[in-house]
Amino acid sequence: MRAVFALLLSFVLLVGCEQPEPPTDGSTPAMRRLSNEQYRNVITDVFGPHITVAGQADSLLRTEGLLALGAQTARITPSGFEKFYSMARSIAQQVVNEQNRSGQFQCEPASITEPDDSCAKQFFSDVGRLLYRRPPTTDELAIPVTAANDSAVSNGNFYAGIALGLAGMLTSPQFLFVIDTTEPDALGLSKWQLTSHAKAARLSFLLWNTTPNKMLLDAAEAGELDTQEGVDAHVDRMMASHRLEAGVRAFFTDFFRFEEFDTLEKDSIIYPAFSAQVIDDSKEQLLLTVLDLLMERKEDYRNLFTTKKTFLTGPLARVYRVPTSRPTGNAWEPYEFSQSDPRAGVLMQVGFAALASHPGRSSPTLRGMAIREAFLCQHIPSPPGDVDFSQFEDPESPDATAKDRLEAHSIEPACAGCHKIMDPIGLGLEQLDGSAQFRTTENETVIDASGELDGIPFEDGAGLGRVMSQNPATTACLANRLTEYALGRPLGAGDRNYMEYLEQKFADTGYRFPDLLRRIATSRALYAVSEPANNAGPLQGAATSATTLAIAESQP
């Protein structure tokens, strides 16, 4: 009997060894503006892929390392509102036209030349639940219904009225901003908690980068997201869906700073193989490499910096100077660099090395800064305004290689502090020119691609990738960025214990990204709320006022 008791006690102690998730201070309730990609995803999900979004709104500003953090401080200017309203009118007119309306309405008006209060209410209620990520309130529903009925009377067209009301909904803050609505915590664990609908929105935008679908909204309204078991079940369901790819793509698009591709230019005379198609393909190559290694093969995240496996198109193959089967069109095919090939890891892919370069030459400084900021989460200050770059950029300089010319930075007091933590890293990629094509010489001088990262030396770009994979800041940065992306806010002192716990769990699971993503999505930290400055009421009031203004301004 004593042996049985000892065995049971051992089992209890073993189970109890699982480290519990430490509490966090939680997020202050906020409003986060939809990104352009999220806007398009929502329109496709609600109205169908045949509805075209013409144009785009102002881009979000990168804040503390992520565009997702800029969404919380984003404001809509008058000119920005005009862009949103122009898109909204176009979308609404497509939704109600004769070709599309049959798939959009669950009812038919008694007459298409007169208002139909009942059908208008049903349409706006169904659509509003998806657009607002919760059922519209009575007052919110009354605004588009009234506008639609009034327009139907004046124009003699029920669907023209619906288009007017829908355009108002598509320019309302309830739609354009993901709002953290709160309520008192029924369990008494804290004073406030996110409402079930706000939990559904946070979960859906993290995993699928779009609005909650009907199934998730139904789950929220049934109280299934108010229990840990319910959250776990829905996270598992959503992560098993093919739609998870969109969410992973969205995060790494932000993490890799893809908005910088919008202004990427290369000198076509110096780099004739570098084209607009190469720019598009290099972005997709990075994402395909990530999806294959992290999601398909579920490998260690650190292998991203050493992998030889990737995907190529014909235009990319010309930049890499490797043979392909030359498929028709611009098809992708798997490709593995040989062990003798000097290339390895994402840092030596075109999408990173060419982006962190100048239009006509490489840049160890830009590459070193990009690695520090993007992959190690370290901020590099901007250079002083009075720094003289002429010594480094002088085309008549007797120094043949970038490594020689960079000595100017090390002896300039205003430059040395920052450049000593950037240049020795970026020099590891100097065998890649400004278009990321491999070379061994510069100005007929052999390139020395050796360098060091935080005191660890390496000999070349592949060596840099190995050192990056072994740097503890590499995995900590990913965990931090993904958590900030999920929360929509920067981490603070109150999150320190949680992040230490998360980083340890990331290590315990072999640095597998899906496990990290699931742990964040099912964590209490994702839904924790600190004391709100104002409850949700004022936010909803402001939203209603803006909707009224949008509809009023659209009246003929």
Mean pLDDT of the chain: 88
Tens-place pLDDT, residues 351-409:
999 999 999 999 999 999 999 999 999 998 876 655 555 555 555 555 567 777 776 65
Q: Identify the domain containing residue 533 by its residue range.
A: 23-241+529-556
pLDDT exceeds 50 at position 3:
no
pTM of structure: 0.90
Q: Name the residue among 159, 74, 29 with its Cα closest to residue 533.
A: 29
Are residues 45 and 167 both part of a single domain?
yes
- For the chain, the residue count is 556
Are residues 201 and 341 both part of a single domain?
no
Q: Is residue 2 part of a domain?
A: no
Are residues 287 and 337 both part of a single domain?
yes
Q: Is residue 101 part of a domain?
A: yes
How confident is the model at residue 193, as a pLDDT? 84
Are residues 176 and 299 both part of a single domain?
no
Which 3 state secondary structure label does DSSP give 9? helix
- The whole-number average pLDDT for the span 315-320 is 93
Tens-place pLDDT, residues 268-295:
999 999 999 999 999 999 999 999 999 9
CA dist list (Å): 390 to 62, 200, 270, 413: 30, 54, 21, 16
Domain boundary among 470, 485, 518: 470
Q: Name the residue among 253, 255, 324 with its Cα closest to residue 282.
A: 253
* Burial of residue 54, with CB atoms counted within 10 A of its CB: 0-12 exposed, 13-18 middle, 19 or more buried: exposed
> 33-47, 86-100, 249-263, 317-331: lowest mean pLDDT where?
317-331
Which 3 state secondary structure label does DSSP give 212? coil
- Tell me the H-state helices in 371-471: 390-393, 402-405, 407-411, 413-419, 423-426, 461-470
Q: Is residue 543 part of a domain?
A: yes
Task: Find where tokens 């930049």 sit.
Answer: 319
- The whole-number average pLDDT for the span 180-188 is 78
Are residues 479 and 354 both part of a single domain?
no
Q: Is residue 9 part of a domain?
A: no
**Model confidence at 110, in pLDDT bands (50, 70, 90)?**
very high
Q: Is residue 54 part of a domain?
A: yes
- With beta carbons less than 8 A apart as the criterion, state whether 282 and 354 touch: yes
Are residues 514 and 441 both part of a single domain?
no
Are residues 522 and 544 both part of a single domain?
no
Are residues 542 and 457 both part of a single domain?
no
Please state the domain count of the chain: 3
| Residue 56, phi then psi, degrees to nearest 5 | -155, 160
- With beta carbons less than 8 A apart as the criterion, state whether 161 and 177 touch: no
Q: Is residue 371 part of a domain?
A: yes
Are residues 228 and 319 both part of a single domain?
no
Domain boundary among 451, 470, 489: 470
Are residues 227 and 83 both part of a single domain?
yes
Are residues 221 and 293 both part of a single domain?
no
CA dist list (Å): 383 to 128, 183, 237, 369, 410: 48, 46, 48, 12, 14
Q: Is residue 436 part of a domain?
A: yes
- The whole-number average pLDDT for the span 165-185 is 94
Are residues 522 and 533 both part of a single domain?
no
Tens-place pLDDT, residues 421-430:
899 999 999 9
Q: Is residue 14 part of a domain?
A: no
